[in-house]
Amino acid sequence: MRLSRSSIAPKGRSYKGWRNRGQWRPANATTPNTARMTDTTAPMARILDGKRIADDLLDTLKARVDVRLAAGRSRPGLAVVLVGSDPASQSYVRNKRRAAQKVGIQAFDFDLPAGTGEADLLALIDRLNADPAVHGILVQLPLPGIPDATHLIHRIDPRKDVDILVVAVGRPGLIPGGWVKPGAVVIDVGINRLDDGRLVGDVGFAEAAQRASWITPVPGGVGPMTVATLMQNTLEAAEAADENP
pLDDT in tens, 176-194: 888 777 877 787 878 788 8
The answer to whether 185 and 221 have CB atoms below 8 angstroms apart is no
Average pLDDT for the chain: 79
**In 3D, which of 148, 146, 139, 91 has the Cα closest to residue 116?**
146
| Stretch among 37-46, 144-153, 178-187, 235-244 having the lowest mean pLDDT | 37-46
**In 3D, which of 1, 41, 45 has the Cα closest to residue 21?**
41
Q: Is the pLDDT of residue 168 over 50?
A: yes
193-229 residue pLDDT tens = 888 988 888 888 888 888 888 888 888 888 888 888 8
Sequence-ordered list of residues with C-beta below 8 angstroms from that of 173, at least 6 positions apart, any chain: 200, 202, 203, 204
pLDDT of residue 109: 95
Higher pLDDT, 34 or 74: 74
The answer to whether 164 and 230 have CB atoms below 8 angstroms apart is yes
Confidence of residue 42 (pLDDT cuts 50, 70, 90): low
The share of the chain scoring above pLDDT 70, in percent, equals 79
**In 3D, which of 181, 205, 177 has the Cα closest to residue 192?**
205
Phi, psi at residue 11, to the nearest 5°?
-60, 135
Q: Which helix (DSSP H) or strand (DSSP E) does residue 226 occupy?
A: helix 222-243
Distance CA 228, CA 128 (A): 22
Q: Is the pLDDT of residue 16 over 70?
A: no
115-127 residue pLDDT tens = 999 999 999 999 9
